[in-house]
Amino acid sequence: MEQLATFGAGCFWGVEALFAAQQGVTSTTVGYMGGHTTDVTYNTICQGDTGHAEVVQITFDDSVITYSQLLQMFWQNHNPTTPNQQGPDFGTQYRSVVFYHNQSQQELAVEMRQKLNDGGSYNAPVITIIEAAHSYHVAEDYHQQYLLKRGKTSCSI
């Protein structure tokens, strides 16, 4: 059955490329979520006062890849201990956030975050925000599949 997952883990280009390459992921789009404004563009979120995060929205077949597997990839591929920063990118739009689409996703995300903290997986507490998904705004066309269009698999290559 197809489901949605939405994650913010820094610049959405690399996050999208990571998830788009996974078997069972049927589509990805990048966009903005979590803010309080309705006129959402890349330029407006970069001003830092919209409350929106850069996110990737993933459609996946849960008979091929589970939400738990997606969450594991999410946490393993960014630093969930830094507020509003991933690598050289700073600002609230780069926060670590899971936007859940149902109660099962919420419970699993909270449980996994707690296990990461209890297990000492990182040198600092995992501060990933977990909140209900709402008002997804698709990013501008030039951001969609940005790395794939340039023949890259990550931002560092």
- How confident is the model over 68-91, as a mean pLDDT? 93
pLDDT > 60? residue 64? yes
pLDDT > 70? residue 16? yes
Kindly state the percentage of the chain with pLDDT values over 90: 71
d(CA 51, CA 39): 12
Report pLDDT digits (tens) over 40-60: 999 999 888 899 999 999 999
Could you tell me what percentage of the chain is helix, strand and coil, using 3-state DSSP and rounding each to the nearest 5? 30, 25, 40
- How confident is the model over 64-73, as a mean pLDDT? 98
Residue ranges per structural domain of the chain: 2-149
Which superfamily is assigned to 2-149 in CATH?
A: Peptide methionine sulphoxide reductase MsrA (3.30.1060.10)
Task: Read off the pLDDT band of 2 (50, 70, 90).
Answer: very high
Cα–Cα distances (Å) from 70 to 20, 25, 113, 122, 149, in that order, read 11, 9, 13, 19, 23
pLDDT > 80? residue 150? no
Question: Residue 89: CA atoms inside 13 Å, Cβ hemisphere, count?
Answer: 21
Task: Read off the pLDDT band of 157 (50, 70, 90).
Answer: very low
pLDDT > 60? residue 101? yes
DSSP 73-94: HHHHTS-TTSTTEETTEESGGG
- How confident is the model over 141-146, as a mean pLDDT? 82
Q: Is 11 a catalytic residue?
A: yes
- The catalytically annotated residue of 5, 9, 11, 133 is 11
Report pLDDT digits (tens) over 129-143: 999 999 999 998 888
